[in-house]
A and B are shown apart, each in its own frame.
Chain A
Amino acid sequence: MTEGARMVTVTINKSQYRAEEGETMLSVAMRNGIDIPHLCYEEVLDPYGACRLCMVDHVTCGKRTMMTACTMRAKEGLEIMTDTPEIVKYRSTLFELYLSQAPKSDVIKEMAARYGVTKTRFLKKIVHDDPLGGKCILCGLCVRVCDEIMGGSAIGFINRGPSTVVNTPFFDENPACLGCGTCAKVCPTHAIEIEDLGDTRIMKSWSGTRIALQLCPDCGQYFAPKEMLEEILSLPDPGIVEELKPLCPACRAKVIAKGMFKATFQGSVHHG
């Protein structure tokens, strides 16, 4: 929690909780172990409100309005209900839609099953050679993290409406891709495939974009995208000593542990 933030009391399912003013209600609920299903939320990103699963009842003056918990900000006296029969009904229909859109996703199947939804009334989407293996639910986390956090903007939404897909521009290999794999890490349905083959990382889901990997001269393992590593190593100030730079984190740790360097930073070596 941020220091100095005003604390407020909010009510979730008739129980009261302390929350930081302005914090999202989804985050308050998660911290207190209240399960609100969600697919497009990630703490470090701006709220997006696309998956619609976290919709809850916002109770004001006895009236209820449905709102997404991920975009609702905590304030004194705010009251929500997370599992009213209405909410469960809508959530179940949304799960059916997800089951038809991403029929191969086990994550979706498990989430839906918790709401008793084990099959869908809607026609399942079957795409041959889908680079995302029939698992993508277009939550946009990969696109947003690539743009907002990594600054890569290597992938984006293509087309609109039901034809929307995520990929690289024109489905070509994209040199803007850093190969960092953050997209795959944030993907809630594990749809993004990345494979390391020798000195190359292949972004299988992103039009087969190929990324050169850096070899660790000590252990002989390829461990990180070469270009990204160079860029990152140029950033810290004071920088890391030259001899340590090409090593993988494990070998670097070993070298430092053996005490081969008195200090790990160039600044200390040169001026110490």
Chain B
Amino acid sequence: MAGSAMPIQTPGDLVKARESGLLKLKPGRPRIAVGLSTCGIAVGGERLIERLKEIITAGGHDIDLVRVGCIGFCKEEPIVNITIPGRPLVILHRVSPDDAEAIVKSVLNGSVLEEKALCKVSSWDHITGSVIYGTGFDTIPDYHDITFFGRQTKVILRDAGFINPEDIDEYIAVGGYQAFVSAITSRSPDEVIDIVKQSDLRGRGGAGFPAGLKWEITRKAKGHLKYIVCNADEGDPGAYMNRNEMESDPHMLIEGLLIGAYAIGTPDALIYIRAEYPLAIERLKKAIGQAREYGLVGENILGTGFSCDIQLATGAGAFVCGESTALAASIEGKTGRPRPRPPRLTDSGVWGRPTDLNNVETFCNVPVILARGAEWYRGIGAKGNTGTKVFSLVGKVENVGMVEVPLGTTLRTIVSEIGDGGAGGKAVKAVQTGGPSGGCIPARLFDTPVDFEHLNEAGSMMGSGGIVVMDEDTDMVDIARYFINFATSESCGKCVPCREGLKHTLLILNKIVAGKGSSADLAMLESLSDTIQMTSLCGLGQTAPNPVLTTLKYFREEYEALIKEGT
């Protein structure tokens, strides 16, 4: 690990670490940073950084070359950002290894490869701190003038794409761990819980339960030994918010988790992460290791008497393990099958101990809430739906990527403005929010504000934040079939409505798609979906029929057309 590796023993040590960390972000020489999250790697980012390394090494150039996370504009990957002292940070897009030579050459001349420049950033608000880069490059558009970026509010993704996720110093450089250190040195756990409660932060896993209240319940739960667990079992098709958050800024999650552990009063923190996220696992492990070296994780942190260790538990590829009781079973090494609640995890969770379970993004919000205060946080978003939410905007949309907006932003802003409408200029027909159990919302309802309540009213849900866009060519019956197929194969098989009901829903949909359906089948789909929703044991079954019910409600004519064609 680069850096001082000096344990942080006092808040003053953190200030020193921050100063040395800033020298990495603004090293006084040019810095080339390649966006290397899974998305950047998938489009050749590794080959690009290798090529850049070859050129810099061969020429003996005084240029820093680092890996950063993802700034979220997936469509424009691979993305490279260039910092030249005194100049704005410039974001280059769609960079290939063939551009490497020209990039280095221009950097050595004190300029950037303008033909590849997407935009520039003169200063960046990391919320926990800010970085002023510089001025110049007048011909390159400003970051805020790019609609995709300009309409977003980056709170959770405040560091993504700017800092090296594999270097704790860069996280500390932008004010990282400050909130945690102040909390354990100057606030009581109850004060921390109070601040989180006042912020009105709601759980980002989908249900929207008040996070501060859950912490308080777990703190007050009977039992000496408790767990705090982070749910990183993101499994919705088309959703990768948590993956990006962990790959781009793992220390943000760790800091939030540590603050939660302090508030609840437990030394045992766990991150339950799906094994399909190898890079996130690697970066988290590295980050935990660095935090341990710095004395921010482990025994008697900063001499306060508070100890906390973080362990990783990996899932084995079952969607249902995102459900709280199934997740607890999976951590214990059992098959991931939900059990009836109550008891809730806060009473009896992992190994029967009171357990607080929060989503990755919920924890990611905590450091900024503590750093800037509850009132500041409540100023973002809408009443009862405070803060921002990260969405993965995917499907048939022009601008595919990670989008962070205040809660209460309309679907239209997200899809038509930030997303720039349908891919290739096609008309957008609907969006599916909330993962496989969400619903399809038609374009005519795009003025719906994206918050927990309004999405439910439209027959969909927030879920963890996937937004899949469908255009005029999308067959909505086939969409319903796709999601039911997913839910059927991911059903754990414990209760009959989910296991058998979804299977028969799929069979009926197959029949309709094959042109052999009848109107009786539509009635059957409706009554079966109702039964599955009302009688299933866990959230998977209770929400799985949503894609069928919403497509039947908003796109019934497509079902009817298939039935008519068949006869």
Contacts and interface: CB of A to CB of B under 8 A. Distances in A.
Our verdict on whether A and B bind, yes or no, reads yes
Contact of B534 (A66, A122, A157): A66
A15 interface: no
Interface string A63-75: 0001010010000
B514 interface: no
A131 interface: no
A20 B229 CA distance: 35
B500 interface: yes
A121 B508 CA distance: 11
Nearest to A47: B340
Nearest to B490: A161
A236 B110 CA distance: 88
B535 A162 contact: no
B491 A49 contact: no
Contacts of B504: 97, 100, 122-123
Contacts of B488: 161-162
B492 interface: yes
A161 B496 contact: no
B509 to A, nearest CB: 13
Interface in B514-557: 524, 527-528, 531, 534-537
A52 to B, nearest CB: 5
Interface residues of B, number: 31
B318 interface: yes
A112 to B, nearest CB: 13
A125 B534 CA distance: 24
A184 interface: no
B104 to A, nearest CB: 52
Contact of B527 (A50, A93, A98): A93
B493 A138 contact: yes
Given A49-B339, A51-B496, A93-B528, A162 B503 contact: yes
Q: Mostly helix, strand, loop or mixed at chain B's interface?
A: helix
Contacts of A138: 493-494, 496, 499
B495 A97 contact: no
Interface string A130-152: 00000001101000000000000
A50 B534 CA distance: 14
B497 interface: yes
B413 interface: no
A52 B537 contact: yes
A160 interface: yes
A159 interface: yes
A154 interface: no
Given A66-B534, A162-B488, A50 B500 contact: no
Nearest to A123: B507
A101 B504 CA distance: 10
A94 to B, nearest CB: 6
A162 B531 contact: no
Interface of B: 318, 320, 335, 337, 339-340, 488-497, 499-504, 507, 524, 527-528, 531, 534-537
Rank and list the top 3 A-B pairs by shortest CB-CB distance, nearest first.
A164-B493, A49-B340, A161-B491
